[in-house]
Every structure is written in structure tokens, then in C-alpha cells.
């Protein structure tokens, strides 16, 4: 059911023209805010953010190209991908030979192009459309504004303990369903599920423009950054490809081990990649000054599929079952993170007598009695402060849930205690 609901959200958000600033971002956050409460932040143009400055705000109302016969051969109203993002205003008539310098094409698809940091303008179209355009004078209109304004981002916080988990997705792409809308949808439903129970961690969901948005958030939230213990960037979350996890810059952070364990133990087709300073906002969170333990979970990876950054990345490219699978994977990872602890065996000299404490008897009627007993023995043996429950699950080959349950039973029996050194 949630797969269809997430897909419905993707479909609803798809027509909105987003960019790194502007009313399209605000409209997107308004829709997200119907599903989870958001705190929206507006950061003025020119604000210093680390080594950057918040750019001028871009908005667009209309754009088109008319051929010599007066027909619209390129129309922003048909697809917002037709206009290069952050295009400066244009109202001119020019020959096709001059217009060609501002056209970007792909066979059969409209490409997605931007010009954020250099003032320029342009249109994107299918190569077949360009091939059919005859010589002559073309009317060119881009009704846009580039002026002082704000960069907009939003947060949703699911309260828990003092330490935090960061879930981040970007909201800057226009009509691209897999490459950012799918990540937004999974984040929304993950936040809603987390709100239903008690939590060890506080979960902070960040909906921000790519690169400049995460840089702005990092610059404005040094106090929060110090509390981040785990994190995931969600992107390309709904296509038919296998799940892919890109490790954090640290490479062996707890989030890296938790995701690897969930993917391996689930039997899902998957890939695990080492960190590289290219991709999504994990590279900002993982810049050396911050070095946060934030990995990136996708299905198909950045720029690896033909539909990437083209009109082919439409709602039909996103599958409800893939959204559901990504959501469930995230949920399983967070359950590991929530329960993963180090324990100290309080009776470490020889094996403690479990029977007189009622631990064996309590297992007698269970169908998994032997597994539960083995989980207790493994927890007792490896609870030396060096091993987490995740380490124990990996070494024993037992399900993490069984190990965590055994640890809780042993804690209640005062045979182990959480390691605090």
C-alpha cells in the first residue's frame, strides 16, 4: 500500500519546476508538508555559507521557441526540462544558426541541463525536433527572473535521544521522478513510520537543494552536526535496479556495517561501493572538516542509466514495488542502528547458569528455541565491550533480531549490562 502512496506523491510532485532556489522548491515543500510537519528555512541571497554564498533566486513563468511559421517548436508548458535551469531572461528573434549555440539535445529524450553559477540561457529538446527545424528566424522567449531572494530548505525532526540520525534528500531537480522525487517520497514515509514508536535516536530529515543546500545547512547547524552519529542520503530510490550502498568517507562507520549487514542477510540483489568525492550530498557531509558517518543509498547509481537526467525519468520509470523495497531496507537498517549496543558480561568467568535464572525455561515453548539459546551464549561470550550486537550477529551467523532479543533477556536477568566506558 505504501508503495502506491509513495508513487502517488512522486506523480503529484513531478510537474513542479524545481531548482536550487525559487517558488518550485517552496511548492514542493508545501506538498511534503501535507504529509509530515516541516520547519522551513529561508536563507537570504549573499549569505556566506562555508566557502560559498547563497545565490540569487531564480523563478520562471514561461518559455518557448516559435518557428518562422509561428508554431511553438519548444514549449516550457510541455516539459519544464525544455529550459536550461537558471536561464537568464530572453526576448529576441534570431536565425537558427545563432539559436543552435543555445540548444542541447539527446536522441529521443529531452536532456536536463543547468547553468547555476554562470549567467547563460538555453533550451533542451529531442534531437529529432532539432532535425526538423528549418532555417529562418525564430522567436525566443524565456520569461524568468534572477534576483536577490532566498534559498529554501526544510527539516522534519522525529524526537528521540540527544544523539541524531540524519536522513537527507535533494529537492532541486525539476521533472525527474527517480532522481530526487523517489528519495523524497521514501524519506516522507520513513519519517511517518518512525513517529509511531519509541526511539533511541532523534531523526532529522533534511529536504534541501543539492550541494548548495547541504552546504548551507552545515554552515548554519554546527551544533546539530556535533550530535550526528549516523546518516543516509536517499536518491534514485524507485527504479528497477538493484539496491546500491555507497559507504561513508570513513568506510567502516556503524552505518556502513549496518547497511552491509541488512543487504547481505536479506538476500536482496545489491552492490556496495567505496566512498568517492563525487555524487550526491554525502560528499558534503563527508568533507574532511566534518567527516560525518553518512552513506548514500540508491538503486541504480548516479548517471548510470540511460534515463538519468532526461525526460525518460518520468513517473512510469519509478516502480511502487521498488519504492516499497527501498523503504523497507531503510527501516531494517534503522532497526539495527536503534538496537545496536555494546554489553559487558557481568558473570564472565565460565558460563553462567541460565537454567536457575529461568532463561532456558522461558524458551521451552518456542519454535526457535535452539537459535535463541545459541544467541544467548554468543552474546554472553562476546560481550566484552569490544563487540557490538551487530558484530555478534555477523560472527555467529544469527539474525540480528535474535541477538538483540537475547541481549535484552540477559540484561533483564542482570547477566549483562550496557558498556559505558
Residue 360 reports pLDDT greater than 90:
no
The pLDDT value given to residue 299: 98
Beta bridge partners of residue 109, listed in sequence order = 106
Choose which CATH entry (3.40.630.10, 3.30.1330.50, 3.40.50.300, 2.60.40.10) describes domain 2-55+150-339. Answer: 3.40.630.10
Helix (H, G, I), strand (E, B) or coil at 204: strand
Task: Report, as an integer, the average pLDDT of 145-149.
Answer: 98
Q: Is 173 annotated as a binding residue?
A: yes
CA 241 distance to own-chain centroid: 16
The pLDDT value given to residue 371: 87
Q: How confident is the model at residue 361 (pLDDT cuts 50, 70, 90)?
A: low
C-beta of residue 317 within 8 angstroms of C-beta of residue 306:
no
Fold for the domain defined by 59-147: Glucose Oxidase; domain 1 (3.50.30)
Phi-psi domain of 363 (left: phi exceeds 0; alpha: psi -120 through 50; beta: other): alpha
What is the C-alpha separation between 345 and 406, in angstroms, rounded? 13
What is the C-alpha separation between 252 and 134, in angstroms, rounded? 58
Pairing of β 72-75 and β 57-66:
antiparallel
Q: How confident is the model at residue 46 (pLDDT cuts 50, 70, 90)?
A: very high
C-beta of residue 137 within 8 angstroms of C-beta of residue 68:
yes
Q: How confident is the model at residue 210 (pLDDT cuts 50, 70, 90)?
A: very high
CATH number, domain 342-418:
1.10.10.10
Question: pLDDT for 149-177, tens place per residue?
Answer: 999 999 999 999 999 999 999 999 999 99
Q: Is 101 annotated as a binding residue?
A: no
C-beta of residue 158 within 8 angstroms of C-beta of residue 198:
no
Per-residue three-class SS string for 70-99: CCEEEECCCCHHHECECCCCEEEEEEHHHH
The overall average pLDDT reported for the chain is 95
The pLDDT value given to residue 353: 87
Q: How confident is the model at residue 205 (pLDDT cuts 50, 70, 90)?
A: very high
Q: By percentage, how much of the chain surpasses pLDDT 90?
A: 92
Q: How confident is the model at residue 355 (pLDDT cuts 50, 70, 90)?
A: confident
Helix (H, G, I), strand (E, B) or coil at 149: coil
The pLDDT value given to residue 365: 55
Each domain of the chain, given as residue ranges in start order, spans 2-55+150-339, 59-147, 342-418
Helix (H, G, I), strand (E, B) or coil at 103: strand
Task: Report, as an integer, the average pLDDT of 305-311.
Answer: 97
Pairing of β 228-234 and β 164-170:
parallel
Q: Is 7 annotated as a binding residue?
A: no
The pLDDT value given to residue 332: 97
Residue 358 reports pLDDT greater than 80:
no
Backbone angles phi, psi at 103, to 5 degrees: -110, 140
Amino acid at each position: 500500500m505504501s508503495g502506491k502512496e509513495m508513487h502517488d506523491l512522486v506523480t503529484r510532485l513531478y510537474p513542479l519546476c524545481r531548482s536550487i532556489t525559487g517558488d518550485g522548491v517552496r511548492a514542493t515543500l508545501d506538498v511534503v508538508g501535507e504529509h509530515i510537519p516541516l520547519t522551513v528555512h529561508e536563507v537570504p541571497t549573499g549569505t556566506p555559507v562555508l566557502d560559498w554564498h547563497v545565490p540569487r533566486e531564480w523563478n520562471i513563468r514561461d518559455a518557448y521557441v516559435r518557428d518562422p511559421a509561428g508554431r511553438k517548436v519548444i514549449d516550457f508548458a510541455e516539459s519544464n526540462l525544455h529550459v536550461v535551469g537558471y536561464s537568464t531572461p530572453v526576448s529576441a528573434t534570431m536565425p537558427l544558426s545563432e539559436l543552435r549555440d543555445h540548444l542541447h539535445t539527446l536522441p529521443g529524450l529531452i536532456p536536463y541541463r543547468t547553468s547555476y553559477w554562470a549567467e547563460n540561457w538555453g533550451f533542451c529538446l529531442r534531437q529529432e525536433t532539432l532535425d526538423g527545424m528549418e532555417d529562418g528566424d525564430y522567436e525566443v522567449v524565456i520569461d524568468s527572473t534572477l534576483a536577490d531572494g532566498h534559498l529554501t530548505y526544510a527539516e522534519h525532526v522525529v524526537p528521540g535521544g540527544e544523539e541524531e540520525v540524519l536522513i537527507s534528500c535533494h529537492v532541486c531537480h525539476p521533472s525527474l521522478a527517480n532522481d530526487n522525487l523517489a528519495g523524497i517520497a521514501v524519506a516522507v514515509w520513513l519519517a511517518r513510520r518512525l513517529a509511531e514508536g519509541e526511539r533511541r535516536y532523534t531523526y532529522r530529515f533534511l529536504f534541501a537543494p543539492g550541494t548548495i543546500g547541504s552546504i548551507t545547512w552545515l554552515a548554519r547547524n554546527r551544533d546539530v552536526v556535533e550530535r550526528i552519529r549516523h546518516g543516509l542520503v536517499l536518491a534514485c530510490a524507485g527504479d528497477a535496479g538493484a539496491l546500491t550502498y555507497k559507504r561513508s568517507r570513513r568506510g567502516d562507520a556503524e552505518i556502513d556495517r549496518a547497511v552491509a549487514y541488512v543487504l547481505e542477510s536479506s538476500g536482496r540483489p545489491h552492490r556496495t561501493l567505496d566512498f568517492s568525492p563525487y555524487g550526491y550530498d554525502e560528499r558534503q557531509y563527508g568533507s574532511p572538516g566534518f567527516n560525518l558517518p553518512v552513506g548514500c543509498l540508491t538503486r541504480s547509481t548516479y548517471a548510470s542509466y540511460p534515463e538519468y537526467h532526461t525526460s525518460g525519468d518520468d513517473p512510469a520509470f519509478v516502480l511502487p514495488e521498488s519504492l516499497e523495497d527501498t523503504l523497507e531496507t531503510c527501516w531494517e537498517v534503522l532497526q539495527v542502528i536503534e538496537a545496536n549496543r555494546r554489553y559487558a558480561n557481568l558473570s564472565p568467568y565460565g558460563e553462567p547458569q541460565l537454567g536457575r535464572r529461568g532463561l532456558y525455561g522461558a524458551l521451552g515453548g518456542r519454535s526457535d528455541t535452539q537459535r535463541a539459546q545459541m544467541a544467548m551464549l554468543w552474546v554472553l561470550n562476546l560481550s566484552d565491550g569490544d563487540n557490538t550486537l551487530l558484530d555478534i550477529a555477523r560472527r555467529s551467523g544469527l539474525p540480528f533480531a535474535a541477538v538483540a532479543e537475547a541481549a535484552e533477556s540477559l540484561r533483564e536477568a542482570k547477566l549483562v549490562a550496557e558498556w559505558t566506558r
